[in-house]
Structure 1
Amino acid sequence: MKKIKLTKKNLILFALLAATAIAIVVLDQITKMMAVRAYEDGKLPVTVIKGVLSISYLENLGGAFGGMAGRHVLFFVLTVLALPAFCVLIFFRRNSGNAGCFAVAMMFAGTVGNAIDRAFRGNGFFNGGVRDFIATECFGILDSVFNVADISLVAGVALFAASLLFFDKDSLLADAKRKKSAAEKEEQPHTEREDDGGESGQN
């Protein structure tokens, strides 16, 4: 069995990822508490950009951006499966590139942020309402209310996809460049031999 070796660089990366995830969760919870307080004081909603963005308050019983309302058992199962899966993914991609690892840390933090609401703000099993307060209106198209945890989740998914395509050492772009470079190296000796043959014929 191959021994798993962790380098100092890996440990520093893990520490930075943990700090990032903790910071996002703390920011998520603080902003949610501020939104609740502002709502209870009658200060919400507040329009930021008319017809586009406002600060409001809504307790969401569904998933990110309001989907799948009321399926608390499903959310619990997904959370229990997702959190260790994120950790395993970070561990095995620790040497592939930082972008993908930070993306997974963002997804981890977003999952934890909303799981805290579901676990501690309900009167039953994992059925608490998630506190949403950022409302996008988009003139009646794609209207949604969400929070910092949702942003972290979606941004993490987008960054992870980008890392697989462009940024990481084993990305599709990096793999294509390696294949192109290898093909050029294979063609180079053939070209040199053809040139040598042409020169010999002229002599």
Structure 2
Amino acid sequence: MTAESTEPIAPDGTADPPLRPLPERAALLLDRVDAPPRLVAHLRAVHEVAATLVEWVRLRCPGLEFDAEAVLFGAATHDIGKAVHVAELSGPGAEHEEAGRELLLRHGVEPGLARFAATHSSWTVPGTGVEDLLVSLADKIWKGKRVPELEDLVVARLAGADGREAWEWFMELDEALTGIGDGADRRLAYQMSHPLTRR
């Protein structure tokens, strides 16, 4: 790939649904691993939701320290292992998780960023960081799926950062996630409009 051809997979934002471009490094990696279009569409949808969550947390809870760039990169690459385990794009399976982490490491991604490929479905593991929780939450709410256990963990982090009661944070987060979930049908339709294989 030449320097002139940056971001060939996801060069621009989209209007319907509104999705911002993937981080350049993530887009280049997806191109290198020959990621299927449907996978890229999924990652763009999750990345958009993660960006919305990052903005919301920064605005509502500035005392919560986290690495926003890591969240965005993690959301943009969390399912990259499905470029190897393509059947998991349209069916169940978890082989893509560790495969994705290993794939990212082989392509020079730092372990701290590669981890999201393996942790996005394991938010109860001891030592799970705020960044991991936000990537996991984005990976659920992009399609309108609510996971109370995961949301409770996010609420606990928010409450711990500013001292407000957990119930207050629950109400605020619930409102935010409901709003994000309202765009789920458009995001799902966008993902499904892309083929499972690259031509």
Larger Rg: 1
TM-score (norm 2): 0.29
Q: TM-score, normalised by structure 1?
A: 0.29
Question: Which of the pair is proportionally richer in strand?
Answer: 1
